[in-house]
Amino acid sequence: MTKKEFSRILQNKLTSEYGVDLAVASNQQIYRSLALICRQMMSEQHKRFQSRAVGTGCKQVYYLCMEFLMGRSLKTTLFNLDLNDAAEAALADAGIKLEGVYEEEPDAGLGNGGLGRLAACYLDGMATTGICGTGYSILYEYGIFKQKIVDGWQQERADNWLPGGQVWLKSHPDQAVEVRFDGEVRETWDGSFHTVRHVGYNSVLAVPSDMYVQGYHGQGVSKLRLWQAKAPDFDMNSFNAGEYGSAMSKNASAELISKILYPNDNHVEGKILRLRQQYFLSAASVGDIVQNHLSTYGTLENLPDKVAIQLNDTHPTLAIPEMMRILLDDCGYDWDKSFDICRRVFSYTNHTVMAEALEKWNVDIFKMTLPRIYQIVYEMDHRARAALEEAFPGDEGKINYMAMIGDNQVRMANICAYVASSINGVSKLHSQIIKDSVFHDYYLFKPQAFKNVTNGIAYRRWLVASNPGLCGLLDDVIGPDYRADAALLKKLEAHRDDPQVLEQLARVKLQNKIAFADYLKKATGQVIDPHSVFDCQVKRMHEYKRQHLNALNIAAQYLYLKNNPGADFVPKTYIFGAKAAPGYYMAKQMIRMICKLGQLIDNDPVVRDKLRIVYLEEYCVSLSERLMPASEVSEQISLAGTEASGTGNMKFMLSGAVTLGTLDGANVEIADAAGMENEIIFGMRTPEVNQMKAMGYHPNAFIMGDDVAAAVLNFLEHGWNGEDFREVTDNLRSNDPYMVMADFKDYRRAQADVQRLYRDRAGWSRMSLENIANSGIFSADRAVSEYARDIWHAPFVK
């Protein structure tokens, strides 16, 4: 599209929506008009794409996830529609910068971390590769939360993203799905015919809104269908009787379901709300899938041939018994036929081996909230136990461990493992761990179901749309074809010893660091040295991710510089970005410790020119797009065997950052791809961790023999300015569940290696180049193609 054509379309939209001329339009009006133009184009392309898919009989892929961390949409949509240059030129003629318009868009508050960002990347990948994919989630009114750091403490504030984000959504109230909670089930038998009636239930309407994701350079478009909870009607009788509170509370209770992502669940009410959210998502999505299929084919007999449903972690597990309910109660299939359909339709991705993520629900709460679903799960458990008895005769311990109901709990992960035709991990190491440990018995029961698909990222968002300096270099050196095929980044490796290319790469990185430092100063007032090493750890705040290990080393470096002010020390800027779950007290203490340590360093003239801490408040996708191009060290320091994969590590690698990490999750594959010599690896390997756990881990054994560790813990324990961090240090001394102290000494060695390697600027640039050149395998295009081939058996739409 030419600049002239785009100018005409934009002006027409501004006139029809706001009655203004481009010359006087506000950035907000321009943003909304551009979004509406993009949405209209994607909607039309999606109809054509869907028509081709149905016409050729292609399988529909449905991706269920409690969160989709979409970030901003305008920039990447313009790039993928090939409209960016035309839009930029049209606005420039009116004296308007497109970058300023981008800032009008809020980050879509639909996700928390890696799980939701992966889901968003896969929508992009499916659209680009031509897989007919639809995502399902909840239209959270307030998303996760806005993070505010006050005196070192995280405070949570409502993230009111919808007013600015609504423009991307098209509501379809005529396609609402009724979801039923509570009540009781009445069963009757007429000979062999079984009838089930759910009575006394409370209804909630799931009203869908659609958002589109445009594939790169193609006709493919993915759809994200988001469900909003609404009361089915208004209680006029109560209202007319003057019982206004009662009338309003019924609406409020229904609409609470889609109010906020991951409500705090350290109380019964929070647990019930989370369960209601999960069933709401599952029931609405399965109802929609079945209705769409019936409207196309008129039968559910061919459902497994035309539909693949991917459960992204355990949150949407209830889609399985809900599908059984529809097949049994609404369609009249018998149990065996219904179960066979479910088995062939559903696949399950496990994203963690952390205990809190393998969800279990109290039987009493489950039965009260979802009475019919409980009956189905109970019958499934009964039949599963019989099948498991055949496979493992007499092994009651194994059967009880694998059962769907046990210890007065309903086990989501076991439902998935028993029913799903495919169970995959998200890195080679993680997929092996789930076979060896948490799902070992299910691996023995159905080994053919276990697969691996290593995670991938929508690399164009972090490279083409966010790192123009690096793209310019790549275009000059290897040509632009890598924009369509990430595997072609490998061509850069031929230039690993070209001093001119290495010098240009270092120059691009410095320019990106200067740009980030300028942004940080404008946004927060913080001043950082762009010539220092940018050492970054940005991810959810959690003990297993071990941000406190990073903090211990910073404290050790602080004490060293205080005692050796003239030491030859390469200046470091440590950049953190992380939110803690509202009810996770220790994670909040870790944030406080990092922030207070940063303040101490900032106020110390002896140290602050060599050491800095930046804590990025309200870290989000759009902030990530600014940080990644400037990053130099990627901190991936979880205890080996605890991180499933990670995706931030892949974005850092793509941006040329060197991984400082353990051999955990996808770090293993990153080191394999780029070469171990181009990463900085430390710490115990997974077998060593398991051996130490089996023998009994005692952190004091590592503290007593390490003077630096003892000094750092004493320093943090006693604190400064009337504040101490005893709760963190006591935990590390006595419990240390993620073996921080066992890895601390080797981590300090690895940080010393950063100092040594960074001094050789050409050598560091060579390591950076090797990471960029070998990052192509971590593309979401590759990942979804593997899902399509090995799990969904879904051909690409031609």
Instruction: Report, as residue numbers or ranges, the catalytic residues.
Output: 351, 539-540, 545, 647, 651
**Which tokens is 659 given?**
């991984």
Per-position DSSP letters for 247-272, written without gaps between them: HHHHHHHHHGGGTSSS---SSHHHHH
Which residues sit opposite 213 in a β-bridge? 222
**Which tokens is 614 given?**
């930046």
Binning the chain into helix, strand and coil, the percentages to the nearest 5 are 55, 15, 30
Enclosing H/E stretch for 698: none
Tell me how many degrees the CA angle 5-7-10 measures, rounded to the nearest 5: 110
Q: List all residues 6 or more positions away from 595 whose beta carbon is below 8 Å from its beta carbon.
A: 149, 152, 613, 615
Per-position DSSP letters for 729-776, written without gaps between them: HHHHHHT-TT-HHHHHHHHHHHHHHHHHHHHSHHHHHHHHHHHHHT-G
Dist CA 402 CA 385 (whole Å) = 8
Q: How far apart are the first and last CA of the chain?
A: 24
Alpha-carbon dihedral angle through residues 296, 299, 300, 305, given to the nearest 10 degrees: -60
Do 132 and 58 touch, CB atoms closer than 8 A?
yes
Q: Kindly list the distances between the CA atom of residue 433 and the CA atoms of 465, 544, 777, in Å, as whole numbers in the listed order.
A: 36, 16, 22
Find the length of the chain: 798
Kind of pairing between the strands at 193-199 and 184-190: antiparallel
Dist CA 361 CA 353 (whole Å) = 17
Which residues sit opposite 347 in a β-bridge? 310, 422
Tell me how many degrees the CA angle 59-62-68 measures, rounded to the nearest 5: 145
Dist CA 659 CA 666 (whole Å) = 11
Which residues sit opposite 154 in a β-bridge? 149
Do 81 and 150 touch, CB atoms closer than 8 A?
no
**Which tokens is 132 given?**
């007919």
3-state secondary structure of 791: helix
Kind of pairing between the strands at 611-615 and 680-681: unpaired
Dist CA 556 CA 568 (whole Å) = 16
In 231-371 the beta strands, taken as DSSP E runs, fall at 307-312, 346-349, 360-362
| 289-326 exposure pattern, b = at least 16 Cβ within 10 A, e = fewer | bbeebeeebeebeebbebbbbbbbbbbbbbbbbbbbbb
Per-position DSSP letters for 368-426, written without gaps between them: HH-HHHHHHHHHHHHHHHHHHHHHSTT-HHHHHHH-SEETTEEEHHHHHHHH-SEEEES
For residue 34, the 8-state DSSP code is: H
Dist CA 762 CA 127 (whole Å) = 39
Tell me the three-class secondary structure of 464-509, residue by residue: CCCCHHHHHHHHHHHCHHHHCCHHHHHHHHHHCCCHHHHHHHHHHH
Tally Cβ neighbours within 10 Å of residue 261.
23
